[in-house]
Amino acid sequence: MPASIDELLSLARTIAGEAGELVHARREAGVQIAATKTAPEDIVTAADRESEDLIRGRIADARPGDGFCGEESDATASSTGLTWVVDPIDGTVNYLYDIPAYAVSVAVVEGDPDPATWRALAAAVVNPTNGELYSASAGGGAYLGGRRLRVATGKQLSLALVGTGFSYDSRRRGLQAEAVSRLIPRVRDIRRIGSAALDLCAVAAGRLDAYYEKGLKPWDHAGGALVAAEAGATVAGLHGAPAGRALTIAAEPGLFAQLEPVLDELGVIDR
């Protein structure tokens, strides 16, 4: 069934909001680790699964035939050309510790669900702890609630507040920390907020000047990357590569041009 981008955006917002309420209610009731994944530090809670089930069900009801690619369940192929890329809780460790920086991220992309080739159409990222809802659509701009977001230009790298994240793999985390130790004298400061989706939205909202991370999965960045890009940020990897697992950098174009060669020099892509 063909849908307009506005309809997809509206659906993404509604579903992310509903899942956010569920996740928040479960947090109030108390959270326990349900299982570990790639490492003991890489956890899943019952609420992650419940949130993904809810989102998956709502999408299947509203858009039968669309594909689904979420963190906590098997992918479903698309028969419409559209696929929903979903992180049911981004920032699960924050969620476990009740640190109010986690999100539900719901994005819909056209083409194969591969960040190298997809075209993101619409996205919603909600932080259920404060009700902030970021959303964006291709060509339609980025919003925080009803406020249009535009990245500020003219920032010098030495005065940039830069967000990043670390791998669940302890060896890689150590290498990433070494790179950060060499970056931090060259920027204003570093933040490790703990949710890639919120980091990308923070670039859109001017709460971070830049963000970079190696190792992101499609659901970590699909929604936030569209929000950042629609706010005017460049979101990409090194040397014109698309954003993805190798590296995701987000910053307004002038700052991106200053940060990219520094990250290249620090060898972040090999870490």
Of residues 110 and 220, the one with the C-beta less far from Ca ion:
220
> Looking at this protein, which amino acid is placed at residue 231?
A
> Looking at this protein, which amino acid is placed at residue 33?
I
- Cβ count near 122 (within 10 Å): 29
**Minimum distance, C-beta of residue 117 to ligand IPD, in the bound complex (Å):** 22
- Cβ count near 180 (within 10 Å): 18
With CB cut-offs between 5 and 8 Å by kind, which of Ca ion, ligand IPD, none does residue 91 bind? ligand IPD
* Full DSSP string of 197-257: HHHHHHHHHTS-SEEEESS--HHHHHHHHHHHHHTT-EEE-GGGPPSSSS-EEEE-HHHHH
Among 17, 70, 128, 194, binds ligand IPD (CB under 6 A): 194
Say how far apart CA 50 and CA 159 lie, in whole Å.
41
Say how far apart CA 96 and CA 77 lie, in whole Å.
31
Task: Tell me the pairing of strands 141-144 and 147-149.
Answer: antiparallel
- Binding residues with ligand IPD: total (CB under 6 A): 13
For residue 2, the SS3 value is: coil
Q: Does 163 bind ligand IPD (CB under 6 A)?
A: no
In angstroms, what CA-CA distances link 36 with 22, 40, 69, 73, 157? 22, 6, 20, 14, 38
Q: Does 91 bind ligand IPD (CB under 6 A)?
A: yes
- Cβ count near 64 (within 10 Å): 10
Among 52, 66, 199, 220, binds Ca ion (CB under 5 A): 220
> Stretches 53-61, 89-97, 235-243, 247-255: which one binds ligand IPD (CB under 6 A)?
89-97
Q: Does 220 bind ligand IPD (CB under 6 A)?
A: yes
With CB cut-offs between 5 and 8 Å by kind, which of Ca ion, ligand IPD, none does residue 165 bind? ligand IPD
> Stretches 16-24, 136-144, 190-198, 200-208: which one binds ligand IPD (CB under 6 A)?
190-198
With CB cut-offs between 5 and 8 Å by kind, which of Ca ion, ligand IPD, none does residue 194 bind? ligand IPD
Binding-site string for Ca ion from residue 63 to residue 92, where x marks contact by CB under 5 A and - marks none: --------x---------------x-xx--
Residue nearest to ligand IPD (CB): 165
With CB cut-offs between 5 and 8 Å by kind, which of ligand IPD, Ca ion, none does residue 215 bind? ligand IPD
The residues that touch Ca ion, with contacts defined as CB under 5 A, are 71, 87, 89-90, 220
Q: Which residues bind ligand IPD (CB under 6 A)?
A: 87, 90-92, 165-166, 194-196, 213, 215-216, 220
